Structure 1
Amino acid sequence: MAYKDYYDVLGVSRGASDADIKSAYRKLAKQFHPDKNAGDDKAAERFKEIGEAYAVLNDPEKRKLYDQYGHAGQVPPGAYPGSGGFPGADFGGFDPGQFSDFFQGLFGQTGGRGGAGGYRNPAGQQVNIEDLLGGLGGAGQSRRFVQNVEGELQVTLEEAFSGSDEVINVDGKRLSLRVPAGTRDGARLRLAGQGPGGGDVLLTIRVLEDGRFDLDGDDLTTSVDVPAPVAALGGDVKVQTIAGTTGNLTVPPGSSGGRKMRLRGQGWPRRDGSRGDLYVRLNITVPKDLSDEEKELYRQLRDLRR
């Protein structure tokens, strides 16, 4: 099965800086966001690819693993002693615990270090840990390790804000879970006793930025286009909040581009039930196509300002 190169997905070089990767992601996420491409399955799939690529390349450890091994599970033959690559590798007496950090980064959303059994990594490949650790119990013995399984779960900023129902695969089992509303990046969820051998499944939530909103503490920032005449004379413009509601923002006369206006209580949920604020950055726009009458009015305005 062929997979797209994450650098190609974001349109950046392999030596791209963190800032370049973040900038490319924001631009593409905004272009292919489902809200702007309703009913377009290709755009939805593209948005998913962009999020997956960013989640790997924006994480220094994951990027290092990806640069070295490519897509998760595609380990080159001979990467470890006695191994021809996955599956069925024999570590010849090595303690697999020393590779736990590698496993944790490799399996991403539903894998991790720990118990035996099958895991499905983000690329959709099946990795059989029981085969991987097969030589440890001695000839004819089968050992199961009751340990926690750690991984990451990616959600969009809107899903983290509103909460979402997710389904993951662990050891061949489909597990349902609820991401609570107001979840922040780095939050941990625990599914007790759902891992291989009765261990726990520990998930770290990774919130993907979508290019429309930036989260800073409890406050959100977004941008809105304001026609030049409205900026000069004042008026109302439509603003969409992260909750999906649309309201009017009154722009004062003489407003300039880059000015920020605050909508109180439209930011991120707090533990006490209140919410932060939404800051709206004004982006002044000038129409590209003007009628003859509009051109004449702009000429008159220009002449008055001389």
Structure 2
Amino acid sequence: MAYKDYYDLLGVSRGASDADIKSAYRKLAKQYHPDKNQGDEKAAERFKEIGEAYAVLSDPEKRKLYDQYGHTGQMPPGYDGGNFQGGDFGGFDPSQFSDFFQGLFGMGGRRGGGFQGGGFGGGQVNLEDLLGNGGIGGTQGRRFVQNVEGELQVTLQEAFTGSDEVINIDGKRLSLRVPAGTRDGARLRLAGQGPGGGDVLLTIRVLEDPRFDLEGDDLTTTVDVPAPVAALGGTVTVQTMGGSGNLSVPVGSSGGRRMRLRGQGWPKKDGTRGDLYVRLNLTVPRDLTDEEKELYRQLRELRP
């Protein structure tokens, strides 16, 4: 994306607390989420921008770097604050990695993170084999070869369904597939795709979604239930990660009650899925007709 101030994107001051930044992100992510703005390219781009802004400002080290250097990507000599480490670059000029540094601030590739020099050995690791553990083996050093390490951010929806991503590595565009059911912290190695034939090691970071909470294999969401439906029973529509479903609300349900939709949670390695837990949030109409007001008065008299 073009240069934009991340604080302005989230609508917070430069001295905003972590809680303020998180709150602002949740509000904007809910407003511009693709599910609520289908076909709106501007909203989709806005959703990506606020995701990039949150990824930087919610990380103390990245925020410190951003506050000091902005989007310029200029680093002081010998900088070792988390994006490049060590003084020996194996014969490479650190300026060659400008695409990586710019990726941290949304300028180099799609939702890229910071990159670090590393010593991981060759061989390609399939991301699907690493779901849930994030481990990468191999410690063979490569002379005059610079391995780099970075992050790739995806939304919770993209991690659930899988997504095709494109990243920029040293001026080269690489395509990769994030499989369905990817977990935060899963890692991918792109063998031989780094500068000088080194490897690129990507850590997947899954952004928070204001609609769902993920714990283990289970998801939790909230659905509004009209008071009459909660009292008399009925059916409400629940948004799931895969679309939508119907939930039968028992007679006399109270606010805060948790109900379960089996098999609507997170994909597992064995092909099954966890469950979706639904919290009931009772609602009453804000604008009542005269007839409705009268009925509520009668109900109040019956059940003081």
| Shorter-chain TM-score range | 0.7 to 0.9
Give the alignment partner of residue 283 of structure 2, picking from 269, 282, 285: 285
The residue that corresponds to 1:137 in the other structure is none
The residue that corresponds to 1:51 in the other structure is 51
The residue that corresponds to 1:24 in the other structure is 24
The residue that corresponds to 1:130 in the other structure is none
The residue that corresponds to 1:70 in the other structure is 70
The residue that corresponds to 1:34 in the other structure is 34
Map 1:211-222; keep pairs closer than 5 Å.
211-222=210-221
The residue that corresponds to 1:299 in the other structure is 297
Change (3 A) 1:104 1:179: farther
The residue that corresponds to 1:103 in the other structure is 83
- Alignment partners' CA distance in 2, 1:229 and 1:242: 27
- Alignment partners' CA distance in 2, 1:118 and 1:238: 49
- Alignment partners' CA distance in 2, 1:17 and 1:252: 42
- Alignment partners' CA distance in 2, 1:210 and 1:285: 23
The CA deviation string for residues 137-174 of structure 1, in whole angstroms up to 9 with x for no partner, is: xxxxxxx9412121111111011111111111112211
- Alignment partners' CA distance in 1, 2:144 and 2:258: 55
The CA deviation string for residues 90-113 of structure 1, in whole angstroms up to 9 with x for no partner, is: x5xxxxxx53544359xxxxxxx8
- Alignment partners' CA distance in 2, 1:218 and 1:236: 25
Please say if residues 119 and 170 of structure 1, whose CA atoms lie closer than 8 Å, have aligned partners that are also in contact.
no
Say which SS state the counterpart of residue 4 (structure 1) adopts.
Answer: coil
The residue that corresponds to 1:156 in the other structure is 155
Map 1:119-268; keep pairs closer than 5 Å.
119-120=98-99, 121-122=102-103, 123-124=106-107, 145-244=144-243, 246-268=244-266
What is the CA-CA distance between 1:291 and the residue it aligns to? 2.1
- Alignment partners' CA distance in 1, 2:5 and 2:208: 21
What is the CA-CA distance between 1:203 and the residue it aligns to? 0.6
Please say if residues 166 and 174 of structure 2, whose CA atoms lie closer than 8 Å, have aligned partners that are also in contact.
yes
* Range with bigger deviation, 8-17 or 221-230: 8-17
Structure 1: which amino acid aligns with 2:285?
P
- Alignment partners' CA distance in 1, 2:38 and 2:177: 25
- Alignment partners' CA distance in 1, 2:171 and 2:185: 26
What is the CA-CA distance between 1:272 and the residue it aligns to? 2.5
- Alignment partners' CA distance in 2, 1:261 and 1:20: 31
Change (3 A) 1:189 1:233: same
Q: TM-score, normalised by structure 1?
A: 0.78
What is the CA-CA distance between 1:210 and the residue it aligns to? 2.3
Q: TM-score, normalised by structure 2?
A: 0.79
Please say if residues 29 and 50 of structure 1, whose CA atoms lie closer than 8 Å, have aligned partners that are also in contact.
yes
- Alignment partners' CA distance in 1, 2:108 and 2:34: 26
- Alignment partners' CA distance in 1, 2:42 and 2:179: 29
The CA deviation string for residues 219-259 of structure 1, in whole angstroms up to 9 with x for no partner, is: 11111111110011111100121012x21101112222222
Structure 2: which amino acid aligns with 1:6?
Y
Please say if residues 61 and 81 of structure 2, whose CA atoms lie closer than 8 Å, have aligned partners that are also in contact.
no
The residue that corresponds to 1:276 in the other structure is 274
Say which SS state the counterpart of residue 124 (structure 1) adopts.
Answer: coil
Please say if residues 108 and 168 of structure 2, whose CA atoms lie closer than 8 Å, have aligned partners that are also in contact.
no
* Range with bigger deviation, 162-171 or 117-126: 117-126
- Alignment partners' CA distance in 2, 1:53 and 1:296: 50
What's the % identity of the aligned pairs?
80
**Which is greater in Rg?**
1
Superposition misfits of 4+ residues, deviation over 4 angstroms: 113-116
Please give the root-mean-square deviation of Cα atoms over the aligned residues, in Å: 2.4
- Alignment partners' CA distance in 1, 2:236 and 2:202: 41
Say which SS state the counterpart of residue 270 (structure 1) adopts.
Answer: coil
- Alignment partners' CA distance in 1, 2:8 and 2:171: 32
In structure 2, list runs of 5 or more residues that go unmatched.
110-142
- Alignment partners' CA distance in 1, 2:84 and 2:19: 25
